[in-house]
Amino acid sequence: MADLTLNAVGKKCPMPVLMTKKELKKMSSGQTLELIVDDKGALKDVPALINKTGDMISETKVDGEQITFMIQKA
Q: In which band, very low, low, confident or very high, does the pLDDT at 74 lie, cut at 50, 70 and 90?
A: very high
Tell me the catalytic residues: 13
CA distance 43 to 37: 9
CA distance 3 to 62: 21
Count of beta carbons in the 10 Å neighbourhood of residue 44: 9
pTM for this model (two decimals): 0.96
CA distance 74 to 58: 12
Average pLDDT over residues 44-50: 98
Q: In which band, very low, low, confident or very high, does the pLDDT at 72 lie, cut at 50, 70 and 90?
A: very high
Average pLDDT over residues 5-29: 97
Whether the bond between 16 and the residue before it is cis, its omega within 30 degrees of 0, is no
